Each structure stands twice: as C-alpha cells, then as structure tokens.
C-alpha cells in the first residue's frame, strides 16, 4: 500500500477519512486501474461508492477516452436496452432516428454501471454477451457490432440473494465481480465520523457565510456510537440541517438527539444492518436481508390490518339503519355521484346488534373531516417527500417503504420535480 499515492487520491477526489478499510479500498482501486479487469464495488447506501469508478478510470490507460456513469435503477425499463446498446430508426414507437448507445459512445473508455442489481434480466443477457465477446446488437437490428468498454459496476443490494431469487444472472455476477471492492459502512470508521462532520460543517459555512458548527465532547461520543444507517449521506444531510436550522454553533448531544441521533438507535428495534464486508465473505450472514424481511412483514401486516378495517367498515355500513345527515354521505345509484363520507372513530366500532338497510348504500369514500382531499398524485408526492426524509434520502429504502419499485420512484421523483 503506497500511503502517499492514497493520500494524493483522497485529496484530488475530496475523500475524507483515514480508516484502514477505506484506505484498502482506495488501494485496490489504484492497483486494478491499469488492468482491463471488471470491478464490482459493494457497500451500503451512502458509503461513497461512486467516487471509485472515477478513480479507476482516471488512473487507467483509458483516461483520455470517455467515462460514463449510468444509474441502472433510474433508466426506464422500456428504454434501457436502447440507452445502453442503441437502436435502429423505426425499431419501436418513438425511435425516430438511429441512436448510438453507451456501449458505442464509450468505445475505448469506461462505463460505470451504478445499481447494477436493478438491471432487467433481458438486459443482463445482452450485457453478459458484450462483456464476454465485446459484441452487441442494437435494438431492432441484427448486425453484430464490436466495442471495447471497461465495466465498473456498483451495488448496494445483496447479489447472492438476488441470484437465489432469480433476479440476477449468476454468470453475469461472476463476470462483473472479477475484482470486488467493498466500501466500509460509516459506523465502522471511528474517528472518520468526526473528520467528516468537520468537513461538512466547514463546506456549508463557506457556502452560506456562516460560522461552522462544532461538537462538544459528549456530542462527539454520541456521533461515534450512532449506527448511521444512511452512512455518509446521512451525516452530510444532518450537518447541513443543523448548520442551517440550529441557532447554536456548539452542538450538544441534546441537539443531536432532536435530529434523530441516538446512541442505541438501531439496537433496540432489532434492526440489523447490512455489512458489505461480511456480505462478500459470508453471504449467509448478510443481514440487510433480515432488515428487508422485517420491513416486508411489517408492510404486509399493515396491509392486512387495512384490509380488515375496510371489511369492518363495509360490514358496518351494510348493517346501518339510519345515519345522521351531517356525518355521512351516501352513494345513490340513480345519481351516480360519490358524496363525501365522513366517519368519526367511534362509529367504526362493530355494533353487531344494529341492523341497517343496505339497499341505498353501495360505496363510500372516507375522508378526514375539514381537510381538503388530496389527489392521488398529491398524496403520492407527499408520501414520497416524507418517506425520503425518514430514510435520509435513501431511494432504495424509500421505494421499499412505499412498496413501489425503485425505477418507479426515480420516475416519480423526476415527474414531481423533487430531484434537486
């Protein structure tokens, strides 16, 4: 390990930290850069995976050629093959011209495939072919073309699990994973947490011409004991929020707690975090799965409760004899119009002995009293904003929480103008 070279790289790319695991990852990136080997970068969300492909490209013989970073999770499934491999004019609706794909324009350069675990299976087959033979075919064509592209990929999902579930091709995984590099989670980096805090505090003070925030000794200890599920991205967001919102410049544990930092933050809930290093060496111990399974269980139990509640409401309505005018709206078949149905909590209680005629009541909309109803779109937008906040901007977790695909989330973020 050449310490001097590693320090130079850190300085050039703004990488802060001295943790041994971080230095080791940078060192592997430098060693592998001049080769043609494929590299797969592992690590939890927010650990800083995106800088390494650039380091690899800039230190390779390809450095004077093109470098493209492509987020596989954000490309719409319908156009992903065309984006990567190009298409022939008229090959599908909207293909008004011939188009070159990334594999063509990056010839002799490097392609960084971020979130590679999100690639659809059909695209995986095309990618495997180009990796093995350098050959690819544009969408809507049969002519075989050649390219010479070096692939660096990154993922924050458990690839072993994706393979087991049939979502990722094993042969492609081995082809991409020639050199694995793992980026350590922030909670393992010890004093680097403090260094990063200072860096972000300084950056924001420069940007907004304010005094940088600083930590008391107790606050420093609290930051070191926190689990940082959103890693460096979460730390940066936290420092930005505190710098702008807090009146204080000396940050105490109380202030940190008010921003959600707790010393036993995840231990008590039983959530276990993904550990990229363990994933590589002992896939079965990988614990991100457990966290995800727990979330799925939670979501499905919420779903069940909602379903039960819905059934209860409907059976109650079927049994209703009379309803106070100011509390209920009724769907009259002949009017074909839905009027607001406003229910207070007590009226949800099952009242088995009551019996109401059901003929006039077909369907109801439930709305909170005195609140203007949100459209589906507004509701989704609100949910996305809140969920992103809860998950410190982590889109994968947000998508999981909202039970939508990551691709759909990216699209909605774009459509709603939330992509800042």
Ligand X SMILES: Nc1ncnc2c1ncn2[C@@H]1O[C@H](COP(=O)(O)OP(=O)(O)OP(=O)(O)O)[C@@H](O)[C@H]1O
Residue 306 CB, nearest distance to ligand X (Å)? 30
What is the 3 state secondary structure string of 226-270? CCCCCHHHHHHHHHHHHHHHCCCCEECHHHHHHCCCCCCCCCCCC
In the complex, minimum distance from the CB of residue 328 to Mg ion, in angstroms, rounded to a whole number: 50
Q: At what angle do helices 376-390 and 406-415 cross, to 10 degrees?
A: 110
Angle between helices 51-58 and 3-13 (to 10 degrees): 120
CB of 140 to ligand X, least distance (A): 32
The smaller minimum CB distance to Mg ion, of residues 126 and 395, is found at 395
Query: From the list ligand X, Mg ion, none, which binds 16 (C-beta under 5 to 8 Å, kind-based)?
Result: ligand X
| Binding residues for ligand X restricted to 129-158, rule: CB under 6 A | 156
Whichever of 242 and 364 has its CB closer to ligand X, that residue is 242
Cβ of residue 10: shortest distance to ligand X, in angstroms? 8
Work out whether 117 is an interface residue with ligand X (CB under 6 A): no
Alpha carbon distance 154, 296 (integer Å) = 24
Partner from ligand X, Mg ion, none binding residue 60, C-beta < 5-8 Å depending on class: none
Q: Does 53 bind ligand X (CB under 6 A)?
A: no
Chain residues 28-57 in contact with Mg ion, contact rule CB under 5 A: 50
The residue behind tokens 């304010």 is 210
48 binds, among Mg ion, ligand X, none (CB under 5 to 8 A by kind): ligand X
Q: Which one of 49-57, 285-293, 373-381, 382-390 is the stretch in contact with ligand X (CB under 6 A)?
A: 49-57
Nearer to Mg ion, 82 or 156 (CB): 156
Give the one entry of Mg ion, ligand X, none that residue 404 binds, where binding means its C-beta sits below a cut-off of 5 to 8 angstroms depending on kind. Answer: none
Q: Strands 135-137, 144-146: parallel, antiparallel or unpaired by DSSP?
A: antiparallel
Q: Does 188 sit near ligand X (CB under 6 A)?
A: no
Residue among 79, 31, 32, 25 nearest 50 (CA): 25
Please provide the DSSP assignment of 354-385 as one string: -----TT----EE--TT-PPPPHHHHHHHHHH
The closest of 285, 283, 299, 41 to 162, measured between CA atoms, is 283
Encoded tokens for 170? 């094993």
Residue whose tokens read 């797969």? 40
Position of minimal CB gap to ligand X: 48
- What is the x/- site pattern for ligand X, positions 376-415, by CB under 6 A? ------------------x---------------------
Q: Between 16 and 313, whose beta carbon lies closer to ligand X? A: 16
How far is the C-alpha of 406 from the C-alpha of 117, rounded, in Å?
11
- The residues binding ligand X (CB under 6 A) are 14-17, 43, 45-51, 156, 196, 232-233, 236, 394
- The residues binding Mg ion (CB under 5 A) are 50
């Amino acid at each position: 390990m050449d310490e001097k070279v590693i320090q130079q790289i850190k300085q050039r790319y703004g990488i802060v930290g001295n943790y041994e695991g971080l230095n080791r990852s940078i060192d592997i990136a430098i060693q592998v850069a001049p080769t043609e080997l494929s590299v797969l970068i592992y690590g939890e969300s927010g650990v800083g995976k995106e800088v390494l492909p650039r380091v690899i490209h800039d230190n390779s013989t390809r450095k004077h050629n093109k470098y493209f970073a492509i987020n596989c999770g954000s490309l719409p499934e319908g156009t992903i093959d065309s984006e990567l491999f190009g298409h022939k004019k008229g090959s599908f609706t909207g293909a008004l011209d011939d188009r070159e794909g990334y594999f063509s324009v990056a010839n002799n350069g490097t392609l960084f495939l971020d979130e590679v675990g999100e690639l659809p299976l059909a695209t995986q087959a095309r990618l495997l072919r180009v990796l093995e033979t350098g050959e690819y075919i544009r969408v809507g064509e049969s002519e075989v073309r050649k390219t010479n592209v070096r692939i660096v990929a990154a993922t924050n999902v458990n690839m072993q699990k994706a393979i087991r579930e049939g979502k990722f091709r094993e042969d492609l995984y081995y082809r991409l994973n020639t050199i694995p590099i793992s980026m350590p989670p922030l909670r393992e980096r010890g004093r680097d947490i403090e260094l990063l805090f200072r860096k972000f505090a300084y950056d924001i003070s420069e940007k907004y011409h304010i005094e940088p925030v600083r930590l008391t000794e107790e606050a420093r200890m609290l930051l070191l004991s926190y689990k940082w599920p959103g890693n460096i991205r979460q730390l940066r967001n936290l420092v930005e929020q505190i710098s702008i919102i807090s009146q204080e410049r000396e940050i105490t544990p109380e202030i940190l707690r008010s921003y959600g930092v707790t010393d036993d933050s995840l231990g008590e809930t039983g959530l276990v975090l993904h550990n990229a290093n363990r994933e590589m060496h002992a896939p079965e111990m990988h614990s991100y799965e457990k966290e995800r399974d727990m979330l799925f269980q939670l979501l499905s139990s919420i779903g069940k409760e909602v379903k039960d509640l819905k059934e209860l409401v409907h059976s109650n309505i079927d049994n209703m004899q009379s309803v106070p005018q100011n509390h209920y709206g009724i769907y009259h078949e002949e009017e074909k119009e839905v009027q607001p149905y406003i229910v207070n909590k007590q009226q949800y209680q099952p009242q088995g002995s009551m019996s109401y005629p059901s003929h006039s009541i077909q369907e109801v909309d439930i709305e909170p009293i005195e609140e203007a109803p949100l459209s589906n779109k507004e509701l989704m937008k609100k949910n996305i904003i809140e969920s992103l906040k809860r998950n410190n901007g982590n889109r994968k977790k947000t998508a999981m929480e909202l039970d939508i695909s990551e691709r759909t989330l990216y699209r909605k973020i774009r459509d709603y103008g939330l992509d800042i």
